[in-house]
Structure 1
Amino acid sequence: MTEAVKRVYAFGKDANGNNVTEGNTDMKWILGGKGANLAEMANIGLPVPPGFTITCQTCMEYANADNVWPEGALDTIAEYRADLEERMGKRLGDAEDPLLVSVRSGAPFSMPGMMDTVLNLGLNDESINGLIKQT
Structure 2
Amino acid sequence: MVTLIVATTSDPASINPATALLAMPGWIAGPILPPDIKSFSNKQTRVIQHDRSILKEDDLDLRWEEATGEVIDEVIFLSRHTAVSNRPALTVHPIGVLHLKDGESPPQGGKPGWAALPNPRIGPWFRLLKKMAEAHGLVPEFEVFVV
Flag whether TM exceeds 0.5 (same fold): no
Name the one with the larger helix percent.
1
Name the one with the larger strand percent.
2
